[in-house]
Structure 1
Amino acid sequence: METPPPLAALVQMTSGIDPAANLAAIDRALGEAAALGAAMAFLPEMSLLLDRDRERSAAHLAREADSPWPAALQEIARRHAIWLHSGSMPLLADDGARRVNRSHVIAADGTIVARYDKIHMFDVTLPSGENWTESAAYAGGDTLAVVDTPLGRLGLSICYDLRFPELYRALVDRGAELVTIPAAFTVSTGEAHWHVLQRARAIETGCHVVAAAQSGTHADGRATYGHSIVVDPWGVPLAEAIARNDAGDAGYDLVLAPIDPAAMQQARRAIPLARSRAVRNLDL
């Protein structure tokens, strides 16, 4: 009898301005994910604190070495014996002058095995009139991250990174077999671009895409698109959370999907992008 492929659990949240409440929802979600047999759980961007009021949020922020949040997630992962991708959290950069938007991959024994700082800053003025200048407070990262997990070799990215396909090509070149794209997408950009970009990243890399998202109306007044999704390497959505005005009665919605390495191998055999690129290595 064949062993079934491991399950990824996506935790869709409506994170707010109270880190303790967000942590409590994460704890409940990981307990449910572990009980359902998930090998690894994925949180959305800014899972611990979603607050566009930078003066108010500053009271919660510290350098990673001084922040209680990574240790709290380590304890939750260890207690539920499940691997965890933190989505991301705001922390002070090591120099203390600016912030970073940082992901952590935590093993089931609580060990942090990878970190990634969001590279591309969300500096946009949208047709809806929304204006976002992430770089006013956040410093972009400069290091790629790929790490072995129970689901395969995982490439890390965050939200706005989704729009830069060269990042995902670089992750595949470093061995990525699946990629994660935690997000807090705006409603207007989500309606226009979320699904097509997730599917494009899967197709062009031959990777599973795992994208946990924020959803609904948040305590800081913003609204996010939701639609947490897993896409297979052929571009087929495997699971998707519905969009809600809140994240369920438990403070989250949970969706699970199998991550079958055979699907990656089949997609890459059918359309051998790496081989074609090597043969036709043009200097464009």
Structure 2
Amino acid sequence: MTPAMTSPMNSDRTASVDCAAIQMVSSPDVADNLARAGQQIALAAAAGAELVVLPEYFCLMGHKDRDKLVLAEQAGDGPIQAALAAWAVQHGIWLVGGTLPLRIAGDPDHVSNTCLTYAPDGSLAARYDKIHLFRYDDGERRYDEAATLCAGTQPVAFELRSRAGDTFRVGLSTCYDLRFPELYRALMSPLPCDLFVVGAAFTYPTGQAHWEVLLRARAIENQCHVLASAQGGRHANGRRTWGHSLAIDPWGVVQAVRPEGEGVVMGRVDLARQGDVRRQLPALTHRVM
């Protein structure tokens, strides 16, 4: 048994931190999307959230896939990144910025679908490029993210330090990643996560069938909190997303959910609860492969 699989048994950790998932119904209007995101972030912070998560493509749900190529920013520079950093400072929060398109040097036809996390001082705490690219065709709806996106290659987690001085390990993931449990296993090593966050824009049919069961499975099999921030409703481009932003505890219990429409879903990362789950059913130490 490796050290990474013994460390989840630290049941003496008792800290907690409040967090929030923002649900949006983003449009092709970037300025309006940013204004709406800012309003919801303020509501979440006022409710006590120290970590706030935005959904995939919070800044743009374009009329066509190639719209994101025009919007794409250079890493470290651009109005969307500036807004994320400013919100983190304004509210003194850790902000997981859903995703935004970032340019790829030498490739004008593709961008990365990137999740940027900002610390309360506005500094960049983590960058995660979506690894798994979605492709779907049911005869009516067709999607192929690889037409405009380049996939990332590395799992990413960061250390959140709360206002009380406690540390929580947070693993990042985006939408279609949710179907690949090996990513979340990778995020549990070399140190286990306390929270997985998922920013998403799940299609209505795939979300209706699989969204909640996949999220609960990732929580249960890793005995880890999950916070999922989703697009949820009918968009100006004609697309309908599933929504159902969720907060889930390490036993797989849904703490809160918002079915559709813009709003805030509050959750809490409770290390005492997590410690109880991992101690009573030490499945993480029973792994043999």
TM-score by length of 2: 0.88
Gaps of 5+ in 2: 1-13
The answer (yes or no) to whether the contact 1:49–1:90 under 8 Å persists in 2 is no
1:119 maps to: 131
Distance 1:164 1:263 in 2: 26
Structure 1 residues 141 and 4: CA distance shift in structure 2, 3 A: closer
What is the deviation of 1:225?
0.4
> Which among 142, 146, 160 is matched to residue 176 of structure 2?
160
Partner AA of 1:132 in structure 2? Y
1:209 maps to: 226
What is the deviation of 1:265?
1.3
- The answer to which structure, 1 or 2, has the higher relative contact order (CA under 8 A, 6+ apart) is 2
- Superposition misfits of 4+ residues, deviation over 6 angstroms: none
Count of aligned positions: 269
User: After superposition, what is the alpha-carbon deviation per residue over 1:206-252, rounded to whole angstroms, capped at 9, x for unaligned?
Assistant: 11011000011112211100000011000000010122xxx3xxxx3
1:67 maps to: 78
SS at match of 1:120: coil
Partner AA of 1:113 in structure 2? A
Distance 1:189 1:207 in 2: 24
What is the deviation of 1:110?
0.8
> Which among 87, 91, 94 is matched to residue 83 of structure 1?
94
SS at match of 1:54: coil
User: After superposition, what is the alpha-carbon deviation per residue over 1:29-67, rounded to whole angstroms, capped at 9, x for unaligned?
Assistant: 121111111111111111111225134443322322443
Matches within 5 A, 1:112-261: 112-126=124-138, 129-149=140-160, 150=162, 152-175=168-191, 176-243=193-260, 247=261, 252-261=262-271
The answer (yes or no) to whether the contact 1:17–1:220 under 8 Å persists in 2 is yes
When the two chains are superposed, the root-mean-square deviation of aligned CA atoms in Å is: 1.7
The answer (yes or no) to whether the contact 1:241–1:253 under 8 Å persists in 2 is yes
Distance 2:142 2:218 in 1: 26
Moved more, 37-46 or 258-267: 258-267
Distance 2:111 2:194 in 1: 30
The answer (yes or no) to whether the contact 1:34–1:82 under 8 Å persists in 2 is yes
Distance 1:23 1:241 in 2: 20
Distance 1:55 1:236 in 2: 39
Distance 1:199 1:139 in 2: 28
2:55 maps to: 44
The answer (yes or no) to whether the contact 2:68–2:101 under 8 Å persists in 1 is no
The answer (yes or no) to whether the contact 1:30–1:77 under 8 Å persists in 2 is no
> Which among 4, 8, 16 is matched to residue 27 of structure 2?
16
User: After superposition, what is the alpha-carbon deviation per residue over 1:102-129, rounded to whole angstroms, capped at 9, x for unaligned?
Assistant: 0011111111100000000001223x63
> Which among 94, 102, 126 is matched to residue 114 of structure 2?
102
Q: Does residue 262 of the first structure (1) align with residue 272 of the second (2)?
A: yes
1:26 maps to: 37
Partner AA of 1:118 in structure 2? K
Structure 1 residues 117 and 52: CA distance shift in structure 2, 3 A: farther
The answer (yes or no) to whether the contact 2:71–2:101 under 8 Å persists in 1 is no
What is the deviation of 1:4?
7.6
Distance 2:103 2:27 in 1: 19
1:272 maps to: 282
SS at match of 2:230: coil
The answer (yes or no) to whether the contact 1:45–1:159 under 8 Å persists in 2 is yes
Distance 1:95 1:121 in 2: 20
| % same residue | 41
In terms of fraction of residues, the more strand-rich structure is: 2
Structure 1 residues 94 and 230: CA distance shift in structure 2, 3 A: farther
SS at match of 2:188: helix
Gaps of 5+ in 1: none
